[in-house]
Amino acid sequence: MIGVFDSGHGGLTVLRALVRELPDRAFVYLGDHAHAPYGDRAPDDIYQLTLASLERLFAQGCRLVVVACNTAAAIGLRRLQQTWLPRAHPDRRVIGVLVPMVEAITGMPWQATVEAGRHRGEPRTIAVFATRHTVESGAFVHEIGKRAPEITVVQQACPALVPLIEGAAPAEAVRAAVRGYAAELMQRLGGVVPDAALLGCTHYPLAQPCFTEALPGVEILSQPDITARSLAAYLRRHPDLDAIGARPVRFYTTGSAERVSLMASRFYGETVTFRGLAPVRPGNAPYRAAS
């Protein structure tokens, strides 16, 4: 099985794209709704919560987990991959949504050296809309700049957007927030129109029409679709981690299963039913489904 983890509903946009791209695979989804949103939490708290959720998915039989939360991927994924995973679960793999986007934007593989990345292509400007922690981590700026220094990355934190989307706010409220964030970014660009905009949070695809409206003529990069294509390629390179054998997706949440199930259909595109998991903090195993 392949696990998909997010702090809340947002990862369902990625999961839906993964299921479309890989319909003959088995998936398990875990949303840590009890501790969402991650965007306002301390970095070490994000790391520990992510680690606890990965343990839960491994306990479900997942050998590969996609971290579909940009904040978790930007803050803690490299540390998890380099220190915790080789020691605790050497036969498991964890990948994130940041890598596919960087590769798609730069046209360079993630493993490329700094020197290999210093080819001079056409100068471009990429806008990144993300949570405060993702912006403050500088992950997109650093990784894109390392591989394609001719690309200018301009970031815009959107702190109100996830609460609005998670809370099923009226469409006009979401539209107004997106317009405001787009206007802030355009003001800092001094009239330069970006070549493309990356929606660096898995919640934001639900507001993609608002970004298209606020940034006319700007290509909006689809993180779920790019991530799905990247996972398919990854599985071709690592057949030992594959999970061929389609079965119904299993959905888990650390929040209220009933409430989450009612809201999740907006993100997934069809009715889904979540099972509850007790909101256990790291170190408080075992992880069992709540009755």
pLDDT tens, residue by residue, 112-144 = 655 554 556 789 999 999 999 899 999 999 999
Residues recognised as catalytic: 69, 201
Please tell me the CATH code under which domain 2-96+225-276 is placed: 3.40.50.1860
Model pLDDT, residue 240: 85
Q: Is 89 annotated as a binding residue?
A: no
Domains 2-96+225-276 and 100-222 share a fold: yes
The ranges assigned to domains in the chain are 2-96+225-276, 100-222
- Asked if 25 and 246 touch (Cβ cutoff 8 Å), the reply is yes
Model pLDDT, residue 287: 41
CA distance 213 to 208: 9
Q: Is 38 annotated as a binding residue?
A: yes
Q: Is 225 annotated as a binding residue?
A: no
Q: Is 39 annotated as a binding residue?
A: yes
Mean per-residue pLDDT pooled into runs of 10, the chain (291 residues):
93 96 94 88 92 95 95 92 95 95 90 55 92 92 93 96 88 97 96 94 93 97 94 92 80 95 89 90 45 28
Model pLDDT, residue 112: 63
Residue range 45-70, pLDDT digits in tens: 999 999 999 999 999 999 999 999 99
- Asked if 32 and 53 touch (Cβ cutoff 8 Å), the reply is yes
Instruction: Tell me which architecture the domain covering 100-222 has in CATH.
Output: 3-Layer(aba) Sandwich (3.40)
Model pLDDT, residue 282: 52
Which segments of the chain does DSSP mark as H helices, in order?
A: 11-21, 43-59, 70-72, 78-79, 85-88, 98-106, 132-137, 139-147, 161-166, 171-189, 208-214, 223-237, 257-268
- Bridge-partner residues for 146, per DSSP? none
Q: What is the dihedral of CA 38, 128, 156, 267, to 10 degrees?
A: -50
Q: Is 152 annotated as a binding residue?
A: no
Q: Is 131 annotated as a binding residue?
A: no
